[in-house]
Amino acid sequence: MSKLFYIAVNYGIQGVNILLNLVFMYHLPAKTLGDIALAKVWLQGLDYTHLGTRFSLDRYLPVTRNEKIKGSYLFVSLCVMTIVSFLFFVLLFIYNDDNKVLLSFTVVGLFLSYINIIKAYHRATGRLEIVNILLLKCYFLPLCISLCSVFYSFKAFLIVYPLSFLMAFGYFAIPIVTRDFHFPSSKYLRTVIMGRMFSTSRMLFFVSILNYSFLVVDRLYVEEKFDRMALGEYSVVMFIFASLFTVPSILTELIFPKVVIQVIEKNRIFFLKEKSIVFFGSLFSIVLANTLMYFLLPYTKYENLYPLMVIASLGVIPYSITAILYHVINALDLRRFLVFSLIASLFTYMSLLFFATNDSLESVVWIKTLSGYILLLFYMLIIVFNKKWSEKC
């Protein structure tokens, strides 16, 4: 029942995000949409300030039995994120030219980053009911409040958006996290927690940076090659991709502890049943989203962009497979190959952007869609060659 509720809440969050973006498209000019697209670059950037330590929770907590040790992992991850986030905000105030959109979205990104670490901890320890509470009260509820405020005015939204997440985090998330994290002894912190987390997260840090680059390089490229208005139109096209992009990871979160345990303990690599669940769940979301946009987009100023939105949504399909492959590669401790595959994929993607695009957004959309399939190819090569090497050994 908890798993069904988890899926329902996450689909609800995506639904509210879609409604919010539709309201933006209906009311706001393309230049303001471009500001929002740039602000989301900063918002998403904060989700990587854990420097990979959040991924270490996924790696070690499913096979850790001691509750105090689990709490120590959470403590370290939260501390790392707090320190790096401070530096992130210093950069924001240096960069920000009194752009209230940028500031509002970045503050929300801070609270979402904290919530994601707390959520990852409870997900990895099998406490799905607490994950559901966090999602419902700390994400879905403030998002709904923010959606209501945008009908009053966009200026009101920019104030309510960060305030609603602040209040939800303070009232609901802090009581949960304070009873879970544990202050480790200095000896244990130095020899076990820091050694494990940072030996693992050293590579995962590069992975997180490369993943982030995959998400934002196209937006930065569009603004540089065209202008902020073109970036706004591009964000209209890509918002359906951004909304659907989280679906594979949401579905994978329900089964990844089982995947990690079976890879480590049974050396299992191919998860056909699990991949089918994520693949068909993602495919259903793509069909549903495109159907909704077919009927809703004519009420905005951007109906002519619908064909490009369909193309962009197809870019989600490879991530329905890489979502599980990522955990398999991580559990096999093949992080060096993971980094190599991401670097090679990102290099190919950026080369196509800079050398294969023409003066139209359509070419950028096609290349963005293709990038996921390039990444899937490299992930598959890692799995196949690792299996062949293991058989020879």
How is 252-316 classified by DSSP, letter by letter? HHTTHHHHHHHHHHH-----HHHHHHHHHHHHHHHHHHHHHHHHHGGGSS-GGGHHHHHHHHGGG
- Nearest residue to 341 via CA among 188, 216, 210: 210
Model pLDDT, residue 393: 42
Q: CA-to-CA distance for 393 and 384, rounded, in angstroms? A: 14
Q: Is 65 exposed, middle or buried (0-12, 13-18, 19+ CB in 10 A)?
A: exposed
pLDDT tens for the chain, residues 1 to 393: 677 788 788 878 888 988 898 899 888 998 899 999 989 888 988 888 877 777 777 777 776 666 677 777 788 888 888 998 998 888 888 877 678 899 999 999 999 999 999 988 888 877 888 888 999 999 999 999 999 999 999 999 999 999 999 999 999 888 887 776 666 656 566 655 555 666 666 666 777 788 788 878 998 899 888 888 899 999 999 888 887 887 887 777 777 666 777 777 666 666 767 777 888 888 898 998 889 888 888 888 888 889 999 999 999 999 888 888 887 877 777 777 888 888 898 999 999 988 877 778 889 999 999 999 998 998 888 877 765 555 444
Model pLDDT, residue 97: 67
Model pLDDT, residue 142: 96
Model pLDDT, residue 210: 82
Model pLDDT, residue 196: 63
SS3 52: coil
Q: CA-to-CA distance for 59 and 123, rounded, in angstroms? A: 12
Model pLDDT, residue 14: 80
Q: Which residues contact 243 (CB under 8 A, 6 or more apart)?
A: 14, 17, 18, 21, 289
Inter-residue contact 22 to 190 (CB < 8 Å)? no
Model pLDDT, residue 322: 84
Model pLDDT, residue 187: 59
Q: CA-to-CA distance for 75 and 114, rounded, in angstroms? A: 12
If one counts every other C-beta atom within 10 angstroms of the C-beta of residue 249, the result is 17
Q: Is 64 exposed, middle or buried (0-12, 13-18, 19+ CB in 10 A)?
A: middle
What pTM did the predictor assign? 0.80
Inter-residue contact 343 to 214 (CB < 8 Å)? no
Model pLDDT, residue 392: 46
DSSP state of 318: T
If one counts every other C-beta atom within 10 angstroms of the C-beta of residue 91, the result is 11
